[in-house]
Amino acid sequence: MLALLGYMMIIVFMILIMTGRLSAMIALIVVPIVFALIGGFGSEMGPMALEGIKSVAPTGIMILFAILFFGVLIDAGVFDPIIKTILKLVKGDPVKIAIGTAILALLISLDGDGTTTYMITISAMLPLYKRIGMRPLLLAGIAVSASGVMNLLPWGGPTARVMTALNLEMSDVFTPVIPSMIGGVLFVLFMAYCLGKKERKRIGVIEFDYQGVAQQAATTEELYVKRPKLIVFNYALTITLLVALIMELLPSAVLFMIGFAIAITINYPKLSDQKERVANYADNALSVVSMIFAAGIFTGILAGTEMVDAMANSMIQHIPDVMGSHFAVITAVISAPFTFFMSNDAFYYGVLPLLAKAGAAYGIDPALIGRASLLGLPVHLLSPLVPSTYLLVGMVGEDFGALQRSFLKWACGSTAVMIIVAIVLGIIPF
């Protein structure tokens, strides 16, 4: 019954947000509460929801201060030289713009943080998309697709969880998967090319003043907030923060708080200027952070009622014995819907050990199951439970459901390519 209730809850939730009946934030709050009441968990619902909110609090704080940190640097003009270079290369050709977007997002994703990727990529490319008439939804889709493949990096999170959950080394899990990751990168570039061709057919190649667009490519157009004399300092601060994030010197929330405090104090020492910069990003920050805490209620109730465990067990138990020798491939395939419908922590710490145990019964090494579990990650980033994706759709002014409708098929394509590469090269056994 718990498994059925969990499946029904997710189905109802997806229908509501993808048909536009409810906003994602309201659905994240209302749907789990209704199903918790149906399941008879009314008296325990409060602590479950609170536990979920506590679990996402560090992420919410991190994204809040990441928005403020990169907002300050964008306003100060730190990314203007990069933006001008990109604009000169891609010009007004939608195909070049789409591919340039993918390359930029893939490179920035090397730090493993989706928030950073979206802040920089969208800030750099959105004015250009608007200027020549390309749909901002494509920009969001290309960025999330690139980040979905690069999410396999060990410091991105999921790979580290696999190593921790199954007590494995990086050489057991990540290193063998690199060829699959390359396959995913090539697919993202192919996707960008296809989408760019469609846009070129729709709007053509546009001639325009590149310099004028470059000046608008930051969030603000006011020259008085630019700080060209501090650009070297701002670059050094950004690089230092990214290195600290990769090395995990401190929790990411703390690092972004420190980075924001330094950035705003040095660039805008006047209190009135600081208040103005914070207010400039308050709307965006509030909408994203509120969504994150709403997602905490959803995950808290899903985990607290043990619907997640019941769903995982029901799926594992229904795998026929004759398919046992293909358990690694099965794990790779089901990792996409599992990481879509539950948090990474729930899947990698809760479900993956069960999958590894089941695979061992068929003689499959846990390391192979661990590798397979990573291949569904491109789909994961389109989950309504991923906080940074709300930041992405908020920045481009699009609807979350529209992003899912347009790019879930491409995310499944990325996953399929990575699985095929893994099978062909023997990274996981067929």
The pLDDT score that the predictor gives to residue 186 is 95
Contact (CB, 8 A) for 391 and 115: yes
The pLDDT score that the predictor gives to residue 213 is 54
> Which has the higher per-residue pLDDT, 166 or 338?
338
What's the whole-number average pLDDT of the chain? 82
Taking Cα atoms as reference points, which of 176, 116, 178 lies closest to residue 149? 178
Which DSSP symbol is given to 268?
-
Give the separation between CA 57 and CA 427, rounded to whole angstroms.
36
Residue 315 has pLDDT above 70, yes or no: no
Contact (CB, 8 A) for 347 and 339: yes
Buried b (16+ CB within 10 A) or exposed e, 411-421: bbbbbbbbbeb
Indicate the length of the chain as a whole number.
430
Contact (CB, 8 A) for 288 and 67: yes
The pLDDT score that the predictor gives to residue 218 is 45
How many Cα neighbours within 13 Å face the side chain of 148? 36
Give the separation between CA 259 and CA 240, rounded to whole angstroms.
9
Three-state DSSP class for residue 263: helix
What's the average model confidence in pLDDT over 202-210?
A: 71
Which DSSP symbol is given to 205?
P
Largest CA distance in the chain: 70
Which DSSP symbol is given to 78?
T
pLDDT digits (tens, 9 = 90+) for 31-49: 889 988 988 888 888 898 8
Taking Cα atoms as reference points, which of 367, 374, 344, 307 lies closest to residue 149? 374
What's the average model confidence in pLDDT over 245-264?
A: 85
CA angle, 131 then 98 then 100, to 5°? 100
Element (H, E) at 217: none
pLDDT digits (tens, 9 = 90+) for 125-147: 887 888 788 898 999 999 999 98
Whether the pTM exceeds 0.75: the reply is no
Whether the CA torsion 317, 323, 324, 330 is positive or negative: it is negative
pLDDT digits (tens, 9 = 90+) for 47-105: 988 988 887 788 778 778 877 887 788 788 777 777 677 767 777 788 888 998 898 88
Give the separation between CA 244 and CA 260, rounded to whole angstroms.
14
pLDDT digits (tens, 9 = 90+) for 5-21: 887 887 787 778 767 78
What's the average model confidence in pLDDT over 262-269?
A: 92
The pLDDT score that the predictor gives to residue 220 is 44
Which DSSP symbol is given to 230?
G
- SS3 per-residue string spanning 365-399: CHHHHHHHHCCCHHHHCCCCCCHHHHHHHHHHCCC
